[in-house]
Amino acid sequence: MLNYTLLEDFVKELYEDIGITTPKEIDMYTIARALKIKLKFWDETSEATENNGKFWIFLNEDLGPREQWQDFAHELCHVLQHEGYQLNMINDFIRYQEIKADNFMYNFCVPTFMLDEYEIANYYNIEDGISIVAKDFNVTESFARKRLIQLRDKVQQAKSDAEHRKFMESLYPKAPPYSKETMKVMEELSSILYKKGLNK
């Protein structure tokens, strides 16, 4: 099992708070209801808005169910993690929020803690898992491909980090046990710091 990022932990806790633990239970209407978000369909592009403390997510009615679910997750990030009206923001900050919302979308639509349960044997050949992930998580195949690429990259990075850590530890072995010389220096330093603390 991989170490989770703060976002992955946030998504896991959010789903667990709602009572959703498997892909079959994922339903945007249930999620919206649990989070007290109103859903509305219209002929404009999808967006999220707030009015007098009430949150709305407007989804484009011309999109298919999978695209609407993906848009819902993107807009949900704006509701949960962003403040302010984008028309009043500078372009760089809007771009930052959109990148963050896209990252949230991939993690929310196909949560890592659920994907961990799958035995996709070879993350290097992600093509084997695309149709399974698309079907089970109700996302498009292009979305599933990108999400599996993210996971593959994360697995590869974790392996690379572990190898680098092992190599560095072979060059600079970690302590304890500390050598007698190191223990003496640490005791002297501790004594100096303690005395300085008492003299304040």
**pLDDT tens-digit map of 154-192:** 888 888 888 877 887 777 766 566 677 877 887 888 777
Structural domain tally of the chain? 1
Question: Is 1 part of a structural domain of the chain?
Answer: no
Which tokens hold the place of 145? 């491909």
Strand partners, 56: 38, 49
SS3 41: strand
Question: Is 189 part of a structural domain of the chain?
Answer: no
Give per-residue pLDDT as tens, 13-54: 999 999 999 999 999 999 999 999 999 999 999 999 988 889
Question: Is 152 part of a structural domain of the chain?
Answer: yes
pLDDT band at 84 (very low <50, low <70, confident <90, very high): very low
Residue range of the domain that includes 123: 6-162
Question: Is 142 part of a structural domain of the chain?
Answer: yes
- pLDDT of 102 over the 70 cut: yes
DSSP structural state of residue 58:
E
Mention every residue, 6+ apart, whose C-beta is less than 8 A from residue 155. Answer: 2, 123
pTM attached to this predicted model: 0.77
Question: Is 191 part of a structural domain of the chain?
Answer: no
Question: Is 196 part of a structural domain of the chain?
Answer: no
Question: Is 37 part of a structural domain of the chain?
Answer: yes
Please answer whether residues 6 and 20 qualify as being in contact, where contact means their C-beta atoms are separated by less than 8 angstroms: no
